[in-house]
Amino acid sequence: MSYYERHIFFCLNKRDGEAACADHDAEAGFARCKSQAKAAGLMGAGKVRVNKAGCLDRCAGGPVAVVYPEGTWYTYVDAHDIDEIVESHLKHGQVVERLLLPPDVGR
């Protein structure tokens, strides 16, 4: 069994002169996810972990986040999107279809 039931990684990468997730408020998305997951009592062993990540090599769809073990990739715009990922996916295991990153989006 996995130490965490679900693990979400947010790309917070910055890059000089090239588009990167940090240009799209990724830090705010990460912070919102962490605070909402904590407030919902989802954090900890056997539950959820919210982590920062460097470039996940899918920059063209940024900002991006990925949830494991499902390997579900998301793109998001605002706090409402993050709240939906927390409530639906991190809490109940339901994928948020409208925020899925298209499979062909790369760097």
Kindly state the smallest distance separating residue 64's Cβ from ligand FES, in Å.
5
- Position of tokens 């605070």? 35
Measured from the CB atom, the residue of 57 and 70 that comes closer to ligand FES is 57
Residue 44 or 52: which CB sits closer to ligand FES? 52
**Cβ 66 to ligand FES shortest distance, Å:** 9
Least spacing, CB of residue 33 vs ligand FES, in Å: 15
